[in-house]
Structure 1
Amino acid sequence: MQRHLFENIFSNKTLFYYKTILTTLYLIPSDHLQFTFIVIYFIFSRFWIYINLKMKIKKQQR
């Protein structure tokens, strides 16, 4: 259910972009960098969902 929601909110291009960044950074051996990025990624993804939901609500109100 949650995965389906993600796929609806994120466009394929955005998902591809994130996957590329994640894989690139995952290949970097530094654990600290990986951890930092995961935290940033998590916060940003939540923020992105919030923005998208707000936009959807605005569209529905019109």
Structure 2
Amino acid sequence: MEAYLYKPEGGGLMITPKRDKIPRISKVELFYVDDSRGTNFSFMEKLRARAYAVNPV
């Protein structure tokens, strides 16, 4: 990943992320089947889940 404000200045800013030792799920969001957000769900409804992972394999 390279980052700079307007144009490359020399080599730019080099960013090297460090990996976490243990993969884990940081956040899970639930949606209705039509991808609209909801807060109260019934156990009879079909849902979609979106999971955000840290250090996925």
Identify the TM-score tier after normalising by the shorter chain. under 0.3
| Structure with more relative contact order (C-alpha pairs < 8 Å, separation 6 or more) | 2
- TM-score under structure 1 normalisation? 0.21
Instruction: Decide which structure has greater strand share.
Output: 2
Q: Which has the higher helix share?
A: 1
Which protein shows a greater Rg? 2
For normalisation by structure 2, the TM-score amounts to: 0.21
